[in-house]
């Protein structure tokens, strides 16, 4: 692929520094700028690899200008998460995403930004947009892969992965270690701070979408702010981390906006029944549904249908 890459950094105070991986076309300078955000226990590498695979390199080869963010302590952001880490969702929503968006706008003032997220990253992005109307006004549209907020579905996977692991075992690990050591235990690509784990645990319950730090009501904010047109991809082999019914509930609680839920299943014309990770990492994704994401980002909403 004809792309070029560089690392950018943003100081956000307290000795914390955010890393963004910029991946763009080797010669095209004016493609749409995209800000991309990972989910919990993850980092920006869900979108790219050393071998040039992934959504970000694919979009860059089509002419896009991708800025892949590592949240505080994850990926190449420094310092890494430890028992000394005090940041949670509030910092992501009120400081880190606004800082990353400001950098993208400063480097690319010629075109509005587009936002892309995987999993819980979509919750962080929608929360930021609902809270900051001035940022929402500068975002043309968004694409989320497997993003849900609260887990309403009830099945065995939800019992094991959410009720037993995320709510009980992971919390016990955090109390023992001071943070969630997901990378060392091979539970995820990166660790979570005490507060970030607790914040996401609270929101994943069937409970109000309210900031634990200052009480801001994000659902009410989403009713007041015109959120950008958003495409919500869901996967049929995703029983609880991004079940299609919960993805739809997330769309519905995000206020009146153009929002389409699209299920990536064989029965509906796709090459595979994808899961929570493979909808971004499967080798066939580039030929299957990445073009749908690009069509949405380019404003071709009629090309992407809701299919549930």
pLDDT of amino acid 179: 98
pLDDT at 2: 83
Mean pLDDT of 138-166: 97
The model's pTM: 0.97
Q: What pLDDT, on the 0 to 100 scale, is given for residue 29? A: 85
Structure confidence at residue 308 (pLDDT):
85
pLDDT, residue 281, reads 97
Whether the predicted pLDDT of 114 surpasses 90 = yes
Residue 215 has pLDDT above 70, yes or no: yes
pLDDT digits (tens, 9 = 90+) for 86-104: 999 999 999 999 999 999 9
Query: In this structure, what token pair is assigned to residue 230?
Result: 């958003």
Mean pLDDT estimate for the chain: 97
Q: Compute the average pLDDT of residues 56-82.
A: 98
> Using an 8 Å Cβ cutoff, are 18 and 77 in contact?
yes
Confidence check: pLDDT of 290 > 70: yes
Q: Rounded CA gap, 129 and 134, in Å?
A: 8
Q: Computed from CA positions of residues 185, 188, 190, 195, in that sequence, does the dihedral angle turn out positive or negative?
A: negative
Residue-wise pLDDT for 33-44, tens only, equals 999 999 999 999
Domains of the chain, first to last: 3-298 (3.40.50.1820)
**Residue range 239-266: average pLDDT?**
97
pLDDT of residue 88: 97
220-225 average pLDDT score = 96
Q: At what angle do helices 120-131 and 97-107 cross, to 10 degrees?
A: 80
Residues 176, 177, 181, 186, Cα dihedral to 10°: -50
- Percent with pLDDT over 90 in the chain: 97
Q: What is the mean pLDDT of residues 14-25?
A: 97
Give the rounded percent of residues in the chain with a pLDDT score beyond 70: 100
Once rounded to an integer, what is the mean pLDDT over residues 42-59?
96
Distance CA 36, CA 14 (A): 24
CB atoms within 10 A of CB 112: 16
pLDDT tier, 68 (very low <50, low <70, confident <90, very high otherwise)? very high
Give tens-digit pLDDT for 160-183: 999 999 999 999 999 999 999 999
Token reading at 242: 């991004």
Question: What's the confidence (pLDDT) of residue 307?
Answer: 92
Say whether pLDDT at 72 is over 60: yes
Q: Which of 216, 209, 32, 12 is nearest to 122 (CA)?
A: 209
Listing DSSP states for the chain in one string gives --EEEEEEEEEEETTEEEEEEEEEESS---SPEEEEE--TT--GGGS--TTS-SHHHHHHHTT-EEEEEEPTTSTT-BSPP-TT----HHHIIIIIHHHHHHHHHHH-TTS-EEEEEETHHHHHHHHHHHH-HHHHTTEEEEEEES--SS----SHHIIIIIIIIIIIIHHHHHHHHSEE-TTTTTSSSS-EEHHHHHHHHHHHSSS--B-TTT--BHHHHHHHS-PPPEEEEE-TB-SSSS-HHHHHHHHHTT-SS-EEEEE--GGGT-SS--BTTHHHH-TTHHHHTHHHHHHHHTT-GGGS----
Does residue 1 register a pLDDT over 70? no
Question: What pLDDT shows up at residue 51?
Answer: 92
Beta strand 65-70 with 33-37 is parallel
């Amino acid at each position: 692929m004809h792309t070029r890459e560089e690392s950018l950094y943003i100081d956000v105070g307290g000795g914390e520094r955010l890393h963004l991986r910029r991946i763009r076309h080797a010669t095209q300078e004016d493609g749409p700028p995209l800000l991309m955000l990972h989910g919990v226990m993850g980092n920006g590498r869900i979108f790219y690899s050393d071998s040039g695979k992934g959504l970000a390199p694919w979009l860059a080869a089509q002419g896009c200008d991708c800025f892949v963010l590592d949240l505080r302590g994850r990926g190449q952001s420094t310092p890494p998460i430890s028992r000394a880490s005090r940041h949670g969702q509030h910092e992501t929503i009120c400081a880190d995403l606004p800082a990353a968006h400001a950098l993208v706008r400063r480097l690319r003032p010629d075109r509005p930004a587009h936002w892309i997220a995987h999993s819980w990253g979509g919750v962080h992005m929608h929360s930021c947009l609902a809270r900051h109307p001035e940022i929402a006004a500068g975002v043309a549209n968004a694409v989320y892969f497997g993003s849900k907020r609260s887990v309403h579905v009830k099945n065995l996977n939800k019992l094991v992965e959410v009720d037993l692991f995320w709510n009980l075992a992971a919390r016990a690990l955090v109390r023992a270690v001071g943070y969630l050591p997901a990378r060392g235990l091979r539970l995820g690509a990166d660790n979570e701070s005490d507060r970030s784990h607790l914040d996401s645990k609270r929101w994943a319950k069937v409970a109000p979408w309210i900031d634990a730090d200052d009480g801001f009501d994000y659902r009410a904010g989403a009713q007041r702010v015109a959120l950008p047109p958003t495409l919500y991809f869901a996967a049929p082999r995703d029983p609880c981390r991004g079940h299609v019914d919960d993805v739809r509930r997330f769309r519905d609680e995000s206020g009146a906006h153009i929002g389409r839920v699209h299920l990536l299943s064989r029965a509906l014309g796709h090459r595979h029944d994808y899961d929570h990770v493979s909808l971004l990492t499967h080798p066939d994704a580039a030929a299957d549904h990445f073009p749908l994401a690009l069509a949405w980002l380019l404003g071709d909403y009629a090309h992407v249908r809701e299919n549930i």
